[in-house]
Amino acid sequence: MLNHKNTNYNSLPGSLEKGGAGDESTDEISKREARRLATIVGSFNIMILILFYLFVEYPEQVFALKQDVQYVFYLNVTIMMVVGFGYLMTFMRDYGLSAVGFTFLITTICIPWAVLSGRFFASVANNGSDGYPGVLDGHNETQAWGKVELNVNSLLQGNFAAATVLISFGALIGKITPSQTALLAILEVPFYSFNKEVLCIGQIGTLDMGGTIFIHLFGAYFGLAAAWVLGPPKGNSGDNAEPSKVSDVFSLLGTVMLWVYWPSFNGATAPIGQNQQLLTTVNTVMSLCASCLTTFVVSALINGRISTVDIQNATLAGGVAVGAASNLHITPFFALLIGTSAAIVSVVGFNKIQSKLEHGLNLHDSCGVHNLHGMPAIVGSVSNFIPLHITSLIPPQQDLTKTIYFFSFFVHAHNFRLL
């Protein structure tokens, strides 16, 4: 697909990686895959053009101060998507270009698509949400089903959907073609929006500031379900996924980018000018620090050395786990405890559980999303059961419903069985 100085890139059919030149049959397969990708993405682009023309407009106050402040969060989260997630997956030495390139494609598919699908399912569930401007009163049918008002906050919702798909992509990279990658993004975004708006918020009343449940839990197990159906990579694809010193350095760069910007991810939609914005930053940083420290300790104890894979991934587990409770008065100690617990689970997952799943269930997880996103998200979901039942930990400006986070992930498990 990518022609640079007349060099063919086709490790996977139509992928961005460098393959053997002169193989006519492989070149033909690559061309067919390129045409298939162009058809899918081109058709999607035309559909988005039509839907945006019919249903999307600017809000009345385009340049409100709130939008200026939230643009900083949008910028930080977008860097996490296209740089952080992209480079994190470059540890696979022969799929580095695909990791960065298709991360870019997935993000640009998800942002406009989630603006539409998220608002649609928010209206179906009668959810009042600033995330999809216009749905201000779920009991006002005219307002709920009016045009989508496009602002920075709705673009942030698009980035959150992109994060969900990128997590799923992490379980599949190296095993799916570019056209399948595009289809993954197009198909998963409506499922993500339905799960979040209708099932979690509409039916259960789940509260999840940082996306522990909506994003990480759903994205991980959606991707793992697809990976289980596909099976392990065929041929020498598994060998191509092995890391090198250079690929590990680039992957660690992605880790550092994600670690730095994760507080913005968890607090991007917190009310501006209120304590929740500060709480998300403080709690997330403390949890990330704890997970980083714990990863170095546990990795050294388990392996007898410091594992690069553990440092690239488990150091971020605290940000995943603390997200849902990041805007609550959980105390600094509890934030540190969540990060510590998530890191332990993540390191054990990479070193003990992942190989058992691969050999026992034939479940090949390319980037270990079960260890970085799935299990830490379960830790975070269970952990949130505690502060939600201690009224002194609840910020007074937030109207909390009688929600039990503990049971939220069972909803996701039910959804995956249906898929």
Mean pLDDT value across residues 386-404 = 47
Mean confidence (pLDDT) of the chain: 83
| Structure tokens, 313 | 């991934």
Angle at 333 between CA 274 and CA 163, to 5 degrees: 60
- Residues with Cβ within 8 Å of residue 295, at least 6 apart in sequence: 310, 311, 314, 315, 317, 343, 346, 347
Report yes or no: 1 and 14 within 8 Å, Cβ to Cβ: yes
Residue 1's pLDDT is what?
Answer: 39
Longest CA–CA separation in the chain, Å: 69
Residue 400's pLDDT is what?
Answer: 38
CA distance linking residue 41 with residue 22, whole number of Å:
28
pLDDT band at 398 (very low <50, low <70, confident <90, very high): very low
Residue 304's pLDDT is what?
Answer: 94
pLDDT band at 384 (very low <50, low <70, confident <90, very high): confident
With CA atoms as reference, report the closest residue to 80 among 208, 259, 218.
259
Q: Please determine, for residue 15, whether its predicted confidence score (pLDDT) is greater than 60.
A: no
Give CA 159 to chain center in angstroms. 9
Q: What is the pLDDT of residues 42-83, one digit of tens each?
A: 999 999 999 999 999 887 766 566 667 888 999 999 999 999
What are the φ and ψ backbone dihedral angles of 128, each rounded to 5 degrees?
Answer: -80, 120
pLDDT band at 242 (very low <50, low <70, confident <90, very high): confident
Residue 399's pLDDT is what?
Answer: 39
Q: What is the pLDDT of residues 128-140, one digit of tens each?
A: 644 454 344 444 4
With CA atoms as reference, report the closest residue to 333 among 322, 349, 347.
322
CA distance linking residue 144 with residue 120, whole number of Å:
9
Q: What is the pLDDT of residues 331-370, one digit of tens each?
A: 899 999 999 999 999 999 999 999 999 999 999 999 999 9
Residue 14's pLDDT is what?
Answer: 43
Domains of the chain, earliest start first: 24-266+280-418 (1.10.3430.10)
Mean pLDDT value across residues 1-29 = 50
Q: What is the pLDDT of residues 246-300, one digit of tens each?
A: 889 999 999 999 999 999 999 998 887 778 888 999 999 999 999 999 999 999 9
Which of the residue ranges 47-51, 160-164, 234-238, 403-407 would you say has the lowest mean pLDDT?
Answer: 403-407
Q: Which residue has the higher pLDDT, 238 or 400?
A: 238
Hey, what amino acid is at 56?
V
Residue 269's pLDDT is what?
Answer: 86
Q: Which residue has the tokens 């691969």?
A: 358
Q: Please determine, for residue 125, whether its predicted confidence score (pLDDT) is greater than 60.
A: yes
Q: Please determine, for residue 116, whether its predicted confidence score (pLDDT) is greater than 70.
A: yes
Residue 28's pLDDT is what?
Answer: 84
Burial environment of residue 408 by CB neighbours within 10 A (0 to 12, 13 to 18, 19 or more)? buried
Residue 405's pLDDT is what?
Answer: 38
Residue 236's pLDDT is what?
Answer: 57
Which of the residue ranges 184-193, 267-276, 399-408 would you say has the lowest mean pLDDT?
Answer: 399-408
Instruction: Note the pTM of the prediction, 2 decimals.
Output: 0.86
HEC assignment per residue over the chain: CCCECCECCCCCCCCCCCCCCCCHHHHHHHHHHHHHHHHHHHHHHHHHHHHHHHHEECCCCCCCHHHHHHHHHHHHHHHHHHHHHHHHHHHCCCCHHHHHHHHHHHHHHHHHHHHHHHHHHHHHCCCCCCCCCCCCCCCCHHHHCCCEECCHHHHHHHHHHHHHHHHHHHCCCCCCCHHHHHHHHHHHHHHHHHHHHHHHHHHHCCCCCCCHHHHHHHHHHHHHHHHHHHCCCCCCHHHHCCCCHHHHHHHHHHHHHHHHHHHHHHHCCCCCCCHHHHHHHHHHHHHHHHHHHHHHHHHHHHHCCCCHHHHHHHHHHHHHHHHHHCCCCCCHHHHHHHHHHHHHHHHHHHHHHHHHHHHHCCCCCCCCHHHHHHHHHHHHHHHCCCHHHCHHHCCCCCCCCCCCHHHHHHHHHHHHHHC
pLDDT band at 419 (very low <50, low <70, confident <90, very high): very low
Tell me the sheet residues that pair with 56. 148
Q: What is the pLDDT of residues 201-233, one digit of tens each?
A: 889 888 889 999 999 999 999 999 999 999 888
pLDDT band at 171 (very low <50, low <70, confident <90, very high): very high
